[in-house]
Structure 1
Amino acid sequence: MIQLFLAELKRSWIQYIRYPVEALGGILITTFFFYALFVGAQYVAGPASQFGERLDAVVIGYVLWTLVIFIVNDIALNLQVEAQTGTLEQVLLSPFSAASIFLARACASFSLRFASVTAILLVILALTGSRLQFPPSLILPLASVVLGAYGFSFLLGSAALIFKRIQQLLIISQFGLLFLLATPTEEWQGSLKWVGQALPMTAGAGLLRDVMVRDVGLDGLRLLMALITGVVYFALGMVAFRWSVRVAKDRGILGSQ
């Protein structure tokens, strides 16, 4: 598995440096979009506006959303490209399972995407004056978000294998993910509080806002629920992907578009 990951990492790096303008353009566009929203909000609120913690929370939600979008779209778009170029069947003839191949590919791509998202975060912090905390404890809630994102990515990859063209579904999912990651579900009360904890990636996003914005220590119970939720959604995505591979093989539609 390590050898597979290293091979996919090399492949992702070659593709990344082959199109440097596209990579740089993605960083600039994503940053400019947020800054345009920030300037517009300042204009509407007036010159005396002070966003305080709300700005920091919005920055966290936006950057998390950017990272999750990279992850979620990765597998589905990868499958569509492989099908269009006619190499999908060759990839699945590998000694490794389809789930292992695309998981290794996704992890390799994540290492490069994470560097891009970090650059986006640093530029946004410089432009807006936002101040965030970066304690080591943020790794665990971030891991729960990434696990949930990979689970969602494999679910969309399953749909891409069966239905082929899912561009509109990907667009719709982006708005849904923005709601999940930007909404402060950690402030919900009563029964809605437990609903917020059970939604994919929301518990981890709330913990990141607590740690990085409010400088609050990790709540052990909420962290446990966030990790369990991330693992559950990841497992669901893997099961769905393995099932969709079997169905696509049985129907003979792996190489179709």
Structure 2
Amino acid sequence: MINLLMGEFKRTWIQFLRYPAEVIGGVIIITSVFYGLFISAQYMAGPAIAFGDRLDAIVVGYVLWTLVIFIVNDVATNLQLEAQTGTLEQVFLSPFGASRVFLARAIASLGLRLTLILTILLIIMGITGSRIQFPLALVLPLVTLLLAAYGLAFVMGACALIFKRVQQVLGIFQFALLFLLAAPTEDWRGPARAFANGLPMIPSTGLLRDLMARGAGLDWGQMGVAIANGLLYFALGMVVFGWAERQAKRRGTLGGY
């Protein structure tokens, strides 16, 4: 497994060196979209607007949504590219197994993704005046968010294995995730809060907003919910991906496109 991880790290680094314009362009586009929304909100609300900590919460939600989109698209996009280039069957014939290969590939690209997200966050903070905090405790809810995000990534990968083309599904899914991650679900109470805790990544997102935007301490009770949520969706993603792999092999459509 160590050799597999090292190989995927090398592959990710080579791709970054060969196609830096794509990465830089993505940073510019994502930052420009948020800045356009920010300027529009300022124009509609007038010069006397005071966002307060709401701006910080919005910035955290937008940046987390960007990170999740990178992750969720990762497995499905890689599967489609492998199918188009005719190398998908080689991945599934690997002694490590397809799920381990794509998981190692996702872990290898995580460092680059986090670096890009931090760059985008710093740029947004500079142009909007937002004051995001970075307490050490944010690592814990961030890990649970990544677990749930990778679980969803493998669900989308399973869809790519079965249906082959899932670009439109991914597009719709991105808007659904934007609503989930941008809504202030941590302020919900009663049945609505219980419902939100069952949705993917929502407990982790609320904790990260509290820590980074509001300066609150870590709620350990909610942290337990976030851990359960992350593990549940990660396990679900691996199970669904395994089922899709077996179905594709049984139908003989693994390498088809």
Instruction: Normalising by structure 2, report the TM-score.
Output: 0.99
Deviation at 1:254, TM superposition (A): 0.9
Cα deviations across residues 67-121 of structure 1 (Å, max 9, x unaligned)?
0000000000000000011000011111101110000001111111111111000
Residues 1:86 and 2:79 are matched in the alignment: no
Superposed CA offset, 1:213-250 (max 9, x none): 11111111100000110000000000111111111111
Q: Structure 2: which amino acid aligns with 1:30?
A: I
Q: Match of 2:118?
A: 118
Consecutive aligned runs of 4 or more in structure 1 exceeding 3 Å deviation = none
For 2:179, the aligned partner's letter is F
Matched, 1:130 2:130: yes
Equivalent residues in 2 for 1:102-113, closer than 5 Å: 102-113=102-113
Aligned to 1:54: 54
- Please state how far the C-alpha of 1:178 moved relative to its aligned partner: 0.5
Report the 3-state secondary structure (helix = DSSP H, G, I; strand = E; otherwise coil) of the residue aligned with 1:96: coil
Q: In the comparison of the two structures, how many residue pairs are matched? A: 257
Structure 2 letter corresponding to 1:19: Y
Q: Output one character per residue of 1:119-142: Cα deviation in whole Å (capped at 9) or x when no partner.
A: 000000000000011000000111
- Residues 143-154 of structure 1: matches in 2 within 5 Å? 143-154=143-154
SS in 2 for 1:240: helix
Could you tell me which residue of structure 2 aligns to residue 236 of structure 1? 236
Q: Which amino acid aligns with 1:220?
A: W
Corresponding residue number in structure 1 for 2:186: 186
Worse-superposed segment, 189-198 or 61-70: 189-198
**2:172 aligned counterpart, secondary structure:** helix
- Unaligned 5+ segments in structure 1 are none
- Distance in 2 (alpha carbons) for counterparts of 1:180 and 1:142: 16
Residue of structure 1 equivalent to 2:169:
169
Paired with 1:181 and 1:4, the residues of 2 have a C-alpha distance of 33
2:129 and 2:56 map into 1 onto residues whose CA distance is: 9
Secondary structure, aligned partner of 2:49:
coil
What residue in structure 1 maps to residue 159 of structure 2? 159
Cα displacement (A) at 1:145: 0.8
Q: 1:30: which partner in 2?
A: 30
Residue 81 of structure 1 aligns to a residue whose secondary structure is helix
CA contact (8 A) 2:150 2:237 kept: yes
Secondary structure of 2:51's counterpart equals coil
**1:198 Cα offset (Å):** 1.1
* Counterpart in the other structure of 1:197: 197
Asked if 1:100 corresponds to 2:115, the answer is no
Aligned partners of 1:223, 1:134: CA distance in 2, in Å?
Answer: 17
Q: Distance in 1 between matches of 2:186 and 2:47?
A: 30
Equivalence map 1:203-242=2 (5 Å)? 203-242=203-242
1: CA distance, partners of 2:140 / 2:201:
12
Preserved CA contact (<8 Å) 2:91 2:97:
no
Q: For residue 164 of structure 1, report the CA deviation from its aligned partner.
A: 0.3
Letter in 2 for 1:51: F
